[in-house]
Amino acid sequence: MSVKIVITEDHELYRDALGTLVIEAFPGVQVIESGDFPTTLSLLDTHSDVALVLFDIHIPGTSGLNGLKEIKARYPALPLVVVSTVDYQASIQQMLQLGADGFIAKTSSRAMMVRALRDVMEGEVVILSGRDSDDVVALSPRQIDTLELLAQGLPNKEIAARLNIAPTTVREYVSDILGLFKCDNRTQAVLKARQLGFILY
């Protein structure tokens, strides 16, 4: 039985190129392609023996990191590597926290991608990023939740209700976020968060 690898990518040309690269890394592999999130879920339900998922988070049917969250919730043991142009240290941190087994920037060279895929299949966590890792801001999961609700324009009271925490705690989170991002107000903080990849929509 051949190894099955699912490629989730909505751009046909890049999907084809990635498929060729996967076959180069693993001769005899069975490549299963998907162009949207619902199709990916359907394929994973149908093929219980998939060995690896290569996943672009920006695909029809999901947004931000929700697709990654759902796949890892349903199939926690299934190796999944994000292959994306969303190459920010903050985003990669979040992906790994949600269970991703690696990240490969689409700007990576062919040889580096092949090596990375082989390493992942051997159980390694691989990060291929084209950006420097200097000056990375580290936020807690609760701070990230607060930041995402700030981006929706919600006031502290509503954020507190959504997160089931006290308004005073929200004020502390907001204050911490402003300090970490070196911003004077919420609008600046949200803009900085998007620039750094904490908010992906």
pLDDT at site 139: 77
**Residue 70: inside a domain:** yes
What are the distances in angstroms from CA 172 to CA 113, 159, 182, 183, 187?
A: 42, 12, 15, 15, 17
Task: Output the pLDDT for position 91.
Answer: 82
Spatial contact of 103 and 80, defined as CB atoms under 8 Å apart: no
Listing DSSP states for 108-136 in one string gives: S-HHHHHHHHHHHHTT--EEE-SS--TTP
Question: By three-state DSSP, how is residue 20 classified?
Answer: helix
Q: What three-state secondary structure class fits 32?
A: strand
Confidence (pLDDT) at 183? 84
User: Which tokens hold the place of 157?
Assistant: 């009271």
Q: Which domain holds residue 95?
A: 4-128
CB contact set of 82 (below 8 Å; sequence gap of 6+) = 55, 56, 57, 68, 92, 95, 100, 102, 103, 104
Q: What pLDDT shows up at residue 20?
A: 94
User: For the chain (length 201 residues), average pLDDT per consecutive 10?
Assistant: 88 93 93 96 94 93 91 93 83 86 89 90 83 63 87 91 91 86 85 80 64
pLDDT of residue 22: 94
Are 83 and 182 in a shared domain? no
Q: Do strands 30-34 and 50-55 pair parallel, antiparallel, or not at all (unpaired)?
A: unpaired
Write out pLDDT tens, residues 119-149: 888 888 888 887 655 455 677 778 888 988 9
Residues 86 and 155 occupy one common structural domain = no
CB 5 within 8 A of CB 50: yes
CATH number of the domain residue 166 falls in: 1.10.10.10
Structural domain includes residue 136:
no
In a domain, 135, yes or no: no
Residue type for position 13:
L
Give 40-100 as a DSSP string. HHHHHHH-TTEEEEEE-SS-TT--TTHHHHHHHHH-TTS-EEEEES---HHHHHHHHHTT-
| Final residue belonging to a domain, choices 128, 163, 186 | 128
